[in-house]
Amino acid sequence: MVVCKFFQQGNCRYGQNCAYEHVYGSKYNYYANAPSQPNKPQQTGVTDEQLVNQVQSDVQAVLRGGQWILSSYAPFKEMPSFPGIINLSPEEARLLIYDATSNNNLDQVISYINKVVKENRSKYEQLLQPNANIINTLRSIYKGETPAEPFTSTVNAGLISNPSSLFRSAAQNTPVFNQSATPSIFSQNTNAFSSSSVFAQNKSIFGPQNNQSVVNQGQGIFAQSQETAAKSIFAQASQNIFGPQTSTSNQNQNLFNTQSPSSIFASANQNIFGPKETQNAFLSQTQNTNVFQKSDSSTVSPNVFQQAVVADSGVYSKMEDLQEEDLEMYRSEEFTLGFVPEMPPPHSLCF
Amino acid sequence: MFNQLGGVSANPNKDLEVTSPPEDAVSSLEFSPPSVQQTFLIAGSWDCRVRCWEVEASGKTVPKAAQGMDGPILDVAWHDDGTKVFMASTDKSVKCWDLAANQTMQVAAHDAPVKACHWIKAPNYTCLMTASWDKTLKFWDTRSAVPSMTMNLSERCYCADVDYPLAAVGTADRAICLYTLEGKPAEFKRVESPLKHQHRCIAIFRDKKSKQPTGFALGSVEGRVAIQYVSPANPKDNFTFKCHRPPAAAGGYQDIYAVNDIAFHPAHGTLATVGSDGSFSFWDKDARTKLKSPEPLDQPLTKCAFNHTGQIFAYAVGYDWSKGYEHYNPAKKTYIYLRACYEDLKPRPS
């Protein structure tokens, strides 16, 4: 996070491996030879070579740095990802393995994941030596067009290029990603609701609010509530719950071993869907017809969604006073060194 | 292909070890809200269980209760009154754990594993927000078996955070979507990602003066964090920085580790990051400097949390799958450590 002074002077020896942040200074103190920058002010000004250099240095860092390879990659900040790269989080990969362990098809799943890794690695490697198709795709992404997938696939891409298929297949109970057989846990209970008119009329919890309480609560969002302070939230505080259960799981290697799968809506007295409870729970809402009544904005403290509109138009430039170059700069997400406008932005580009 | 961690001890910072830790990596870690007088810590784990400890003033931890689900836990969240805990699992459901009764009840369901759950306390409603790999975001009245509202995500949810009236969701393929929760939940805007690689964690931060949510920090597998304002006063307020990268080896290329979690200090507004490299760092985003970088551990850090007063920093040590199945060593134990952090996270005097 510390800004590298040498970089701003144009002579940092460490380049992209520098421990300090490479941030361009203003155009007045910048001397370095401009490296390939993703956000050039004029789109015509960027060459294929610059685009390719940018991508090569990113991809080189990914491959040599040992980065998680099942990651999407965007050649340019705030632009779409490069198409065709498989996206799977470490947690998704982990779950596939855990499921496979309990389903005894570990070898199958490991070879599957290895195939996906290999596929992605080969795509990253193709980005290092881009062919004409890849360069075209880079250019489309850069221009904000919808890019076409340029990769020549080495393995069975049809199966694995769509990562969501992994979990879709899980729902369909295919042998590879076998999961619980019941797709909808609530399915047995839906009948109860369809016959209950109480729920049909009052599905929403976002009921109208009491303005009085909004004022109080709105100001007190960050205040501490004292009322429950003294009471212990544990009924059986002295009970040592970890003891026996820990030893059980020690003996059992099966990662998926949990307590016996209990009925979803435990016991009768727990059942909040019972008629008596229902009546109580929704008593206050039965009069409400407008379930999503909008809150009265005057009672709510100002926040991030309410932007102050500056009435004084004098602080803005008129569109016609600005050069095309400056406008371009204000339209882009980031200023580029050497092109920082000296005039204030126009009103229309500020909101 | 994979980086190796070596030559570092298990607890180099001499931090306090939480007793009876989970049997497998910690996926979620949360301290009790201010409505509870005592301090409780809950941790969800890949061993399918959620555990709760009481943290005494001395730093001593006492196991209080545990509950299990039918699949590994991916997230946990406290009810604002501190009497209940929500647990999101790969078994595609979310359960509500009533701590006093020590009983659980299903309150939400998805078509795929549930990656995140957050309790929303608005002036005019309360609800549970859940986000899943089924590419939906759902809002639940916990008394009803159908969601009050379902919104589609462009991709699988990888991370989410809520700080009323703002919710932020990061997904696969680098998408970010912000939601306003005022009145009722609604999509606020989609943000183009300032990061080039897979999103991994997201944390909302507040404005220093107004104490209202004003932006978010986003971490990626590339060892980089973006600080992004919802409505930046100046485009230059948004920036990214590299982290969790050990010094470059002789070859000239840095090993790259994922940023596994980000947490903002509740009093100072500074932040902590934990990474696959086994290290945690404290940062001042406004001064754009690193405050402290304690000694790295011998395993990745998967999760971190501050208690509501900002006195305690908790971090979980265990394998995060960042190097795949081949590097999973079940013999390596999971730990959770506690550290007094109030002084370390004080912002740099300006």
Chain segment A187-220, per-residue pLDDT in tens: 344 333 333 333 334 445 565 544 444 334 433 3
pLDDT digits (tens, 9 = 90+) for B126-141: 999 999 999 999 999 9
**Which residues in chain A are closer than 8 Å to B71, comparing Cβ atoms?**
95, 256
* CA A243 – CA A256 distance, rounded (Å): 19
**Which range (A97-111, A148-162, A175-189, B197-211) has the least confidence?**
A175-189
DSSP 8-state class, residue B70: S
| More confident position, B280 or A37 | B280
**Which range (A109-113, A177-181, B304-308) has the least confidence?**
A177-181
Instruction: Look at strands B49-55 and B213-220 and give their pairing.
Output: unpaired
* CA B194 – CA B192 distance, rounded (Å): 6
Q: How far is CA A14 from CA A26, A52, B225, in A?
A: 21, 21, 21
Residue B218, pLDDT score: 98
> Is B159:B176 a contact under the CB 8 Å cutoff?
no
Give me the phi and psi of A105, to 5 degrees please: -130, 40
What string of DSSP letters covers B79-139? -TTSSEEEEEETTSEEEEEETTTTEEEEEEE-SS-EEEEEEEE-SS-EEEEEEETTSEEEE
Mutation to test the A interface, candidates B143, B224, B227, B255, most A Cβ within 10 Å: B143
For the CA atoms of B149, B152, B155, B158, the dihedral, rounded to the nearest 10 degrees, stands at: -20
Q: Which residues are paired to B162 by β-bridges?
A: B167
Partner A contacted by B222 (CB < 8 A): yes
pLDDT digits (tens, 9 = 90+) for B180-233: 999 999 999 999 999 999 999 999 999 999 999 999 999 999 999 999 999 999
Closest to A246 (Cα-Cα) out of A236, A235, A257: A257
The verdict on a CB contact (< 8 Å) between B242 and A3 is no
| More confident position, B188 or A10 | B188
**Helical residues (DSSP H) of B153-277, grouped into ranges:** none
pLDDT band at B71 (very low <50, low <70, confident <90, very high): very high
**What is residue B174's three-state secondary structure?**
helix
Residue A185, pLDDT score: 39
Residue A189, pLDDT score: 40
pLDDT band at A234 (very low <50, low <70, confident <90, very high): low
Q: Looking up tokens 């205040």, which residue turns up?
A: A223
pLDDT band at A58 (very low <50, low <70, confident <90, very high): very high
* CA B181 – CA B163 distance, rounded (Å): 9
At residue A20, does pLDDT exceed 90? Answer: no
* Residue B192: Cβ within 10 Å count: 14
> Is B175:B190 a contact under the CB 8 Å cutoff?
yes
Name the range with the highest mean pLDDT among A7-16, A123-132, B37-46: B37-46
Residue A164, pLDDT score: 45
* CA B236 – CA B234 distance, rounded (Å): 5
Partner A contacted by B189 (CB < 8 A): no
Residue A264, pLDDT score: 31
At residue A235, does pLDDT exceed 70? Answer: no
Q: Compute the mean pLDDT over every residue in chain A, rounded to the nearest whole number.
A: 62
Residue B307 structure tokens = 């208690």
Give, in degrees to the nearest 5, the angle at Cα A87 between B330 and A37: 120
> Is B261:B221 a contact under the CB 8 Å cutoff?
no
pLDDT digits (tens, 9 = 90+) for B302-350: 999 999 999 999 999 999 999 999 999 989 999 999 999 999 999 988 7
pLDDT cut 90: percent of chain B above it = 92
The verdict on a CB contact (< 8 Å) between A214 and B123 is yes
pLDDT band at A143 (very low <50, low <70, confident <90, very high): confident
At residue A295, does pLDDT exceed 50? Answer: no
Instruction: Look at strands B103-109 and B93-98 and give their pairing.
Output: antiparallel
pTM of structure: 0.71
At residue A33, does pLDDT exceed 50? Answer: no
Mutation to test the B interface, candidates A26, A62, A184, A205, most B Cβ within 10 Å: A205
At residue B77, does pLDDT exceed 50? Answer: yes
Partner A contacted by B65 (CB < 8 A): yes
Closest to A164 (Cα-Cα) out of B111, B283, B293, B31: B111
Partner B contacted by A193 (CB < 8 A): yes
Instruction: Look at strands B103-109 and B114-121 and give their pairing.
Output: unpaired
Give, in degrees to the nearest 5, the angle at Cα B203 between B63 and B167: 105
